[in-house]
Structure 1
């Protein structure tokens, strides 16, 4: 148990960085195969896209689920710089940098995800890197992309991937090393003084047997705006970037049938904490008028911020027989993130929240795959252990501190199996099931101090935190019956999640499918609990899909899915009146259910030998039903537009100096709200225009590209805070903290960057 986070982490530096570094060398390997893939796919018709969505390697057109695969060539063509840009390729998908930091991910698929990144909360979209589960959103905005492909699996993946994939899953699939000696250096310069340097390579230690890969990256950029008011000595850049990442990979090809990989990664993100834009003038801080720029802000906290993660993983893949393969994946990850969150964004301490997040987890998975005569089956055992701790000091009214700290511990074990059985030459049946047992433990401590306090000693000059200040345990167990809570509170759940599907292969190029699948999101305790409350129940998602995947000709492909999703027992933080009707308490409750129906279409057309058009469209409509016993005025699905649309064109031009790829695209999102229970923070529909030109030299050594993003400089909200009250006439009045705190955070403005690389 960790009740003093600052103390425990100041002495532990072993695992404190980011998953970003896991793929740092892979980012450059994508350029190695770019020209070759681009030329082959454009001249030979529609390419075969392989995915591992069902934990075996299959053609995308043979997988009976809604999945988008973005390969290395496409990433290079579009100058993709981090995971959030993948959203424009996948219908009904939201991937955005969260409020407050550059590297915390807000992910939603089909209206299901995680709005609040507080410790202990479970995501609704699972993030996987080479089958390793990334449990927390901190650090999940990966700036260095993987070489092989990124897969977006839409809809619950509860059978093969387990809990916390109720909305779907995102998979990074890295490429095995070639075994040759390779070295790559790449530099990027761009808007807002962007200056990136990436160095990667690999060296064979034993020919055809043992290889070591390495990489290091430094990514820097000035802020899109500035802090107009900040404490003396603070860096005033807002929305800046300062990130370093390193990795080492050891691969051993013992035999043709036995492969092992040991991977280590580490990243420091020292970008400043992001300041939000005040949408209403402050009632208490006359020095904080509404700024002219959406990227300017004010703060009374230091602007430094940190996200540190480190991880190590081991993969062993053995082709035991021609039909049977066995695979083991084990990992250990740890992260540490002290952060400064100024909720009111003024120069006064009206509502400031300095905080610390502290996470560690490990997992082990043993998987078997068997291909028989007319059937294949994959099954396995999975174990996960995690501890997520945190502490924040909410400084309010210029003089009070409401302190909350605690830990959530999770132990999960599961067994799963899924089989595809040929009933006839054209008709097949998919049957899958997973049994998950989950135990959660939690404690919460809080107290109110008539002084300004910070999460650890001497954080800010002039404030000396007395580490002996008492804290009251409000969520826990009375183990000895003396009426005093003195241990973690615990709860456990188990769930059987099935999948049933039927597929009809009408001809070599046409597949129809229908399926039922179920997802399970763990129950959890409220990390902000003000009393010894019970845990919220798990969320259950039932999904029905029908779809068609068809290659009409060698030049035209359409993948279309219709879906209906029933989301039961959605978890919300709700404010409920106490018995005396004067005080309000925050409780984590299962406040609502939703019924979402929609369609997703992806179309690829090779219009000419050199010109490719791609279209992706998603539409959904939601009916939200509230729990009658809990009055929560829900207004819509968080971060989820009714419509997403993208259209892009790629033109391949071969010349005497190399291969050029010219790319242009338009991406549209209809209006959406940031929070499900409030429409004060609402983003109107908007579109973005992006364009790129990439080049690969004839000698295969030099390459480069110029990329322009958000060319029309659209301003769009991706996060926010609302602590206001509403008057009878609809105007805003003061809320928590005594001010009109309505804050928005925004996506990137127009940027242009140039990349040049050399490899040998």
Structure 2
């Protein structure tokens, strides 16, 4: 069966010569492929994918890195804007700010499971739910996206990968910026970030935040207003204390608050972006995080790390779902999600090898309320859900004979989940998981490496909180065995960096959300599936101010076995998993201080249900950036989705909802820097 891939596919095919021609020229004649002698090489990239700082090319895993300055100049201010810009990463189309369910390598989790398949780490602090899976990208150093199972080092929410957000360090170099932005639909934004030493070589502080407001684009014909206005406030505070050369203590606090109108929903049969809702729809969610990170170097050469974190998120929404003046159908949530986590880690070296061993534990306490009006009447589901995790993990990196090296690790994790419904008896489940990882790496040329790895990923089980009629049944953990191989390195005197990876994953006890009728939802873990794919990342410094960046990820995830009642879904695609994601872009940086960038990002189509009846079409979005920096001032203009492409998710919630895609947006930002 043929699947049209649209503008993204055509752009990638057109771009292939740009990737392959320099490599072929190098093989035929090195001189013919040489660039101008005046061109600089690409800067080195250091990441902490295995919790130890290491050059990107030496990490035996598929990793994409988004630089903080590039993110700022591209106008990235939300997590879902990484879709397409990071090949292999996408998000379920949902339309509510502050709630993101990531999709990686064909795997995802429904937000009603209060879990994720891809872990979000912000300065080492984990976010374990789709609620609060967000970051405003203020004071950003870089984003590392680890593709493939990372449960060995990161546990039950890293089954498909990890998104690690790193803030700029607090150090002896003072910095500061203030920016104002204006754009489409009366967008207004104020952004700021400051960091400076308070006591020389001892105490440092940082503060960053933003306020953003924007009118909606969904017209309510009943009230005459726009239904989906947005307002968001973010604040991030940091304090760093270095009492001595051996000790580093960092205290961070972050808070986000949303004051929005409706989710980006409408009726599939209605005119696009038009509702007639008489029931108010709103999002009043907020979240906060407090963390303490301590690092201490012992006299023996060992290093001790401790990360203590408190996550607190309030998911408060009301959403009309009949989109008519009369209140026939609506849904409301008032969930309070709290998690306390602690990690202790010891690192050391033994000869040329490095190792770490650690302990991790967390406790969650969630108060859940889902009040809705459906065709079956009023419903008010209330429950308390508690959970705990205890884990022991280790990882070793060892050189072998010649240019061979080995990375090996394992994690033993015990998880307990307890549900206390208001109208039923208490239930409790617990599971013990073992997640090993083994990676072999070979440096076959000075700047080129090959690796092969095998790893196990796990996503925890839970209870069907939205199924009181079924007595809140439990579902088991989802388990993945992943087999991966890849090559990565540098060409053209380090002016071109590349990574090419292929993988196969065997998925058992797969968790899939089913919605047979409106108001009835449940998660089943009766499916098995196979996921296979490939990922390519390229960064090419052309010279004379020009730079080409691109990447593409192909994934094929199919149910091997999935029977749910009378329905047999064998051979169907896993919901929300695109077969193709990627981007290609070119940038010019002029010596006079101005710059321009054009990029195309996108995704193949995704199905919205296990039967593959409803879908969101594939899309390719053209983004344009132009700016000028002079002295302390920087002015930048952004155009997102310049062609105003529409890629609505038609048939969400078993055919009853369309999730609208955002229209074209134009914005101008003026920034002052210290």
Identify whether the pair has TM-score above 0.5, normalized to the shorter chain.
yes
2:242 aligns with 253
Alpha-carbon shift at residue 152 of structure 1 (Å): 0.9
Describe how 1:98-247 pairs up with structure 2 within 5 A.
98-99=94-95, 101-114=96-109, 116-118=110-112, 120-229=113-222, 236-247=225-236
Give 1:222-371 correspondences, 5 Å limit. Answer: 222-229=215-222, 236-280=225-269, 290-291=270-271, 294-321=272-299, 323-371=301-349
Give 2:503's match in structure 1, choosing from 563, 581, 586. 563
Q: 1:586 to 1:191 in 2, by over 3 A?
A: closer
Q: Compute the displacement of 1:175 (Å).
A: 1.8
The correspondence for 1:669, drawn from 603, 618, 629, is 603
Cα 1:274/1:161, change in 2 over 3 Å: same
Cα distance change, pair 347–134 in 1 and its aligned pair in 2 (3 A): same
CA distance in 1, matches of 2:170, 2:650: 39
Secondary structure of the equivalent of 1:75?
Answer: helix
Distance 2:513 2:377 in 1: 23
From 614, 625, 638, the counterpart of 1:692: 625
TM-superposed CA distance for 1:586, in Å, is 5.4
Q: Which residue of 1 aligns with 2:356?
A: 378
Q: Is the 8 A contact 2:330 2:372 kept in 1?
A: yes
Return the alpha-carbon distance in structure 1 between the equivalents of residues 523 and 620 of structure 2: 36
Cα deviation 1:412-455 (Å, max 9, x = unaligned): 0101001011112300111110000000001334xxxxxxxxxx
What SS does the aligned partner of 1:192 have?
coil
| Alpha-carbon displacement from aligned partner over 1:393-413 (angstroms, at most 9, x marks no partner) | 22134x931221212211001
Q: For 1:628 and 1:676, how far apart are their aligned partners in 2? A: 11
Runs of 4+ displaced beyond 6 Å: none
1:636 and 1:673 in contact (8 A); partners too: yes
- Distance between the aligned counterparts of 1:586 and 1:653, measured in 2? 55
Correspondence 1:25-40 to 2 at 5 A: none
Aligned match of 2:647 in 692, 716, 721? 716
Once the two structures are superposed, residues 157-178 of structure 1 have per-residue CA deviations (whole angstroms, 9 ceiling, x without a partner) of: 0100011211111110112113
Q: Distance in 1 between matches of 2:191 and 2:105?
A: 35
8 Å contact 1:444–1:528 — kept in the other structure? no
What is the aligned counterpart of 1:651 among 588, 597, 610?
588
Q: Distance in 2 between matches of 1:331 and 1:413?
A: 15
* Structure 2 residue aligned with 1:12: none
Deviation at 1:236, TM superposition (A): 3.5
Change (3 A) 1:209 1:631: farther
Secondary structure at the counterpart of residue 607 of structure 1: strand
Equivalent-residue separation in structure 1 for 2:521 and 2:324 (angstroms): 25
- Relative to structure 1, the CA distance from residue 402 to residue 433 in structure 2 (aligned partners, 3 Å threshold; closer, same or farther) is same
CA distance in 2 between partners of 1:74 and 1:663 (Å): 10
Distance in 2 separating the partners of 1:113 and 1:601: 21
Give the Cα–Cα distance (whole angstroms) in 1 for the partners of residues 86 and 313 of structure 2. 29
Q: Matches of 1:678 and 1:633 in 2, distance apart?
A: 12
Question: Residue in 2 aligned with 1:638?
Answer: 575
Cα distance change, pair 300–321 in 1 and its aligned pair in 2 (3 A): farther
Asked if the contact 1:421/1:429 (under 8 Å) is kept, the reply is yes
In structure 1, the residue matched to 2:30 is: none
Summarize the Cα distance change of 1:269–1:76 in structure 2 as closer, same or farther, 3 Å threshold: same
5+ residue gaps, structure 1, are 1-41, 281-289, 446-471, 477-487, 578-582, 725-741
Tell me which residue corresponds to 1:614. 549
SS of match in other structure, 2:474: coil
TM-aligned CA distance change 1:121 to 1:267, over 3 Å? closer
Q: Is the 8 A contact 1:189 1:753 kept in 2?
A: yes
Instruction: Say if 1:66 and 1:190 are closer, same or farther in 2 by CA, change over 3 A.
Output: same
Compute the RMSD of aligned alpha carbons: 2.3
SS at match of 1:74: helix
Q: Does the CA-based 8 Å contact 1:92-1:619 persist in structure 2?
A: yes
Shift of 1:96: 5.5
Give the aligned partner of residue 519 of structure 1.
457
Following TM superposition, by how much is the alpha carbon of 1:584 offset from its aligned partner in structure 2, in angstroms? 11
The answer for the alignment partner of 1:287 in structure 2 is: none
Cα shift at 1:629? 6.3
Matched, 1:504 2:445: no
Matched, 1:51 2:29: no
* Residues in 2 aligned to 1:304 and 1:630: alpha-carbon distance in whole angstroms: 36
> Within the alignment, does 1:424 sit opposite 2:401 as a pair?
yes
The 2-side partners of 1:641 and 1:62 are apart by 29
Q: Secondary structure at the match of 1:73?
A: helix
Aligned to 1:436: 413
Separation of aligned partners in 2, 1:532 and 1:340: 25
**C-alpha displacement of 1:143:** 2.8
Alignment of 1:95 with 2:95, yes or no, is no
**1:538-577 alignment to 2 at 5 Å?**
538-554=477-493, 555-574=495-514
Counterparts of 1:277 and 1:97, CA distance in 2:
13
Map 1:418-497 to 2 at 5 A.
Answer: 418-445=395-422, 472-473=423-424, 476=425, 488-497=426-435
Alpha-carbon distance in 1 for matches of 2:661, 2:139:
23
Shift in Å, 1:379: 1.9
Number of residues of Structure 1 aligned to a counterpart in Structure 2:
634
CA, structure 1 residues 132+584, in 2 after alignment: closer, same or farther (shift >3 Å)? closer
Deviation at 1:321, TM superposition (A): 4.8
C-alpha distance after superposition, 1:380-402 (max 9, x if no partner): 100111122321222134x9312
Write out per-residue CA displacement over residues 80-124 of structure 1, whole angstroms, 9 at most, x where no aligned residue.
12111212222221035623x22211210011112x322x43211
**TM-score, normalised relative to structure 1:** 0.80
Residue 204 of structure 1 contacts residue 212 of structure 1 at CA under 8 Å; is this kept in 2?
yes
CA distance in 2, matches of 1:593, 1:413: 27
What residue in structure 2 maps to residue 750 of structure 1? 664
Per-residue CA distance 1:286-308 (angstroms, 9 max, x = gap): xxxx22xx333232322232111
Partners of 1:93 and 1:643 lie apart in 2 by 10
Give the CA deviation at 1:201: 1.8
1:590 matched residue in structure 2:
525
